[in-house]
Structure 1
Amino acid sequence: MKIAVIGGGSWGTTLADLLAGKGLDVTIWIREMELLAEIKAKGENTWYMPGVKLSPNLQATMDLAQACKGAEFFLMTVPSQFLRQTLSDMRPLLPKNAAIICANKGVELDTGKTMSEVCEEALAGHKYRFAVLSGPSFAYEVIRRMPTAVSLGCKDKDLARQVQELFATDTFRVYTNKDVRGVELGGAVKNIIAIAAGVSDELGFGADARAALITRGLAEMSRLGTRMGADPKTFMGLSGLGDLVLTCTGDLSRNRQVGKRLAQGQKLMDILGEMKMVAEGVKTTQAVHGLAKKLKVELPITEQVYAILYEDKDPAQAVRELMMRELKDE
């Protein structure tokens, strides 16, 4: 059994190391020549996971064909906005009935498509199996073997069990869930709410405000998900509430850090220009904002985060407008 991990960022490196550490045949595809050289020379990903020695079993390459050759499982960890093109490049390299496991969290900007929908379009006519891995998981903690539990969204019961066993270790626990749409939407929308939480925390609005954002953010997540055919119960699980709590409260959350810096008065382009890793919530906000308009779903927190990111709205004013909305039943 061979596993190709497509993407050499922090999450791809972490999951590749986890799998290789189990003695599995794992090859990670890296785009950057300098990073590949660092991994081969030092045995660590010095760009994204400095100081962490990777499993000696882990192979790395810039050659996509080499990474995919002989693989049965393809773990996609490229940023969500690059998934379609990457899958198109991989298409002639994929075997029949390949298992595609998406571990990225976002919604495609130009189309409003979830990752499973992007796969459907990019791989149309090609027989494959699909799963999505999501849930409360900071790469920094997972790669240091701290206890973590995540959700695996998969409609194929046999594949779900296979992938569950593939990833399971004494520090990484995987729960299966048939609701693919719910699992992938929870992982995407929570990043938007995390930006709002970062804004609120930096403005000094306290724990009350953060708790309100998490709770009402969960309501937005569930409202959009239900409209798109997800099971509302999914959002009470790891890929919904669990991931939401983590990214809204944890200092390792890139999206929360974006919110904090916006509240300090920094410009979005300056923030993104200084970040080595992708904050998925920035483009997901734009995608979900458009999706909500199209589906006529009310997402007030998302609307205000969009205004802060793309309309240069004062963060404090955005919070005030959330508080002064028309009074309603919960």
Structure 2
Amino acid sequence: MLKIRMLKPIDNLCDYTFNFCWNDSKLQPEDVIPSQEGTSFTYADLVAELKAGRDVCIDGNAGKRLAYSVGTDLKHLGGTGGAEKAGNIFIEGDVGPEAGMGMVSGSLYIKANIEEPWGNILEMTSDVKGYRKFRSITDLLANGPGKDMLKNNSLTENTLKLNDGILRGTIGARSNWQGTVLVEGNVYNGTGVLMQQGTIMIKGDAGMNTGSHLDGGTVVVHGSVGEFSGAYMKDGRLAFINAKGYVGAGMAGGVIYSKKKASTSPPAAKAKLEKDDIEFIRKNMETGRVESMLYNKYEPEKEKEKFVTVHMRDGSIVMRKI
């Protein structure tokens, strides 16, 4: 086990994405973690330990975004984009918000409190005395609870019901489960990101990036969604009442439904509702047939044929396809 003593909370510990360093260079893998006592571990050292299936112990409090995307073989770092096994993380203190965002495997063992919003994690009965145990929702759906038992929520064969009132983000990240995740309340950012199969139903509002990179699953929100929802969708369906910002940026496939007219970013564009769309809306948004027919549908707009104006010698004008 790698053990690091922290003199104060530091953000992005055990973060597989290295705080998105490829985008803004705020954090580099080889950077030495500040405020550690007696060691000089880098951010990459902690990640390498987890990737090798070994455990990491943080003696002290952890800051924001602990264990971001743990268990993911990230494409932007040369991986497959799929899930892989990971070691466990032990925290001898408190944990800041957004812990376990995008997390797909491994477990968190926390001695004290964890601040909301949480990420893609659920609290389980602990098998280590003195620690609270948390597993990723994606791992739970893919592999089952095993000897663990859910605390304050329930899992049947086809439905995971979350009604503990905890605000969570990236619920179902990269999930490929055929059942339904039902959330009785609001959710944070990134619900259903990169989900391939299954349904997430939110009986409340959702945050930014809802259904972003959706790749075959279904995300239904019985309230509003935030900015960038449906961005970079490849496949699947996203439905909501209204959007607080632009939707569909860079989407390559899939369908977005909105009760209220939504502002779209290219290539998302208005499309015609078909019979199966209306049936989907009736079933999932719990509406009548007439109300379902009033929904707006958005799909990636097919690239329009481009023409160039050619002036002929006789003075006429011809439009030629490029």
Report the TM-score when normalising by structure 1. Answer: 0.28
Report the TM-score when normalising by structure 2. Answer: 0.28
Structure with greater proportional strand content: 2
